[in-house]
Amino acid sequence: MMIDGPKLRADLGVLAHDCRALKNVLRETWTRPMADEQRRLARLKRRVTELCVLRAWSRRRFHVRNVEDAEAWHAAVASRVAKDYPLAKVDANEAGGLR
């Protein structure tokens, strides 16, 4: 599976930063309802897991092992998430190739 690795790693970095910031907010004493923040954190964690599955699958590895059919589950998640990370087609002239 060919994916845009640098974009994937950059997105993982941004999401990890967002998760840490949101966790810091949730660790403080709550002075208001925090349900929205909790839901947002759950969505962020799920997205990070999906991106980690894609990264692992692209290296022929598993990220999550405690699923019934790990290979099929990873393939399904990776194929769905990979649509967001297509490998850019590079023109040979732009890449400094032979003319």
74, 62 Cβ separation under 8 angstroms: yes
Q: What is the pTM of this model?
A: 0.82
- Contacts of residue 77, defined as CB under 8 A and 6 or more positions apart, other chains included, come to 50, 53, 54, 57
- pLDDT confidence band for 94 (50 / 70 / 90): low
> What's the Cα-to-Cα distance from 85 to each of 51, 54, 97, rounded to whole Å?
10, 10, 24
Asked whether the predicted pLDDT for residue 98 surpasses 80, the reply is: no
> What's the Cα-to-Cα distance from 41 to each of 80, 89, 95, rounded to whole Å?
21, 34, 40
The Cα 76–Cα 67 span in angstroms is 13
Tell me which amino acid residue 28 is: E
Segment 66-95 shows an average pLDDT of 84
Which H or E element spans position 38? Answer: helix 35-58
